[in-house]
Amino acid sequence: MLYIISVFLTENMRREKVIKEEEVEIYQYGIQITMANLINLLGILAIGVLLKTLMFIILFYCVFSSLRIFCGGYHAKSFQNCFLLTMLIFSGNSIARRIIDVMPWLSIAISVLLFTFIIIKAPIENEFRPLNREEQKKFKQYGLIVCCFWTIVSFVFIKKAIMTVVFFAEITVLVLMLATENTKFLK
C-alpha cells in the first residue's frame, strides 16, 4: 500500500515536472519511509494513550530512537513486520514498566553492558544501508555519547520512571543488536 501511494505521488510530481525522471526512485523511497515512520509514530502514541503511559512512551521513543540510530540492530525486511515489531516493543515495554520494579544498580549494569557492546560491536550494520569505515567510527562514538547522555540523565533526575525508561530502551537496543549479530551466524 505504501509503495502504491508513493508511486502515485511521484508519478504526479514527475508529470508536473516537480522532480526529474532520475529522481523518481529516491522520492518513492523517501515517501515510503516518511509514511512508515508516521504510521509507526501514530501506533506508538495510540499504545501510550490506550495503556495510559503516554509520557513514558514519548520518553522511551526519544531514548530508544537516539540509541538505535547509532547502535544499529535488527531491521525487519518488510513494513508490516517492522510495524508489528515496533508495536510489540513499545507495548511490551509499556506493560513491563508497570510490572517490574527496576533497581538503580540494574540500570547501571545494563548501561555498562550496552557501553561494552557498543565498544566491541557497534554499529551493527543494516544490510539495507552499509556503512563505510569512517561512518562506522563516527556511529560508534555517537552511540557511546548518546548512551552516556541518557544514563546520566536518568541518574541526575533520580526519578524511578526516567531510570526505568532508560533501562528498557537500553535493554531493547541491546537485544536488537544481539539478535542481529546472532542471525549473521545463522546465514
- 73/154 same-domain check: yes
CA 66/CA 61 separation, integer angstroms: 8
Dist. CA 72–CA 46, nearest whole Å? 25
What's the number of domains the chain is made of?
Answer: 2
Could you tell me if 67 and 151 lie in one domain? yes
Q: Same domain for 86 and 124?
A: yes
pTM: predicted TM-score of the whole model, two decimal places? 0.64
Q: Please check whether residue 186 is in contact with residue 126, taking contact to mean a CB–CB distance below 8 angstroms.
A: no
Angstrom CA distances, 9 to 37, 106, 115, 147, stand at 17, 49, 43, 38
Q: Which phi and psi (to 5°) does residue 21 adopt?
A: -55, -40
CA angle 164, 176, 118 (to 5 degrees): 80
Mean pLDDT of 47-65: 83
pLDDT at residue 186, rounded to an integer: 40
Tell me the average pLDDT across 75-90: 76
What pLDDT score was predicted for residue 99? 55
Confidence of residue 95 (pLDDT cuts 50, 70, 90): low
The grid cell for 79 is: 513494513
Task: Name the residue range of residue 139's domain.
Answer: 53-186
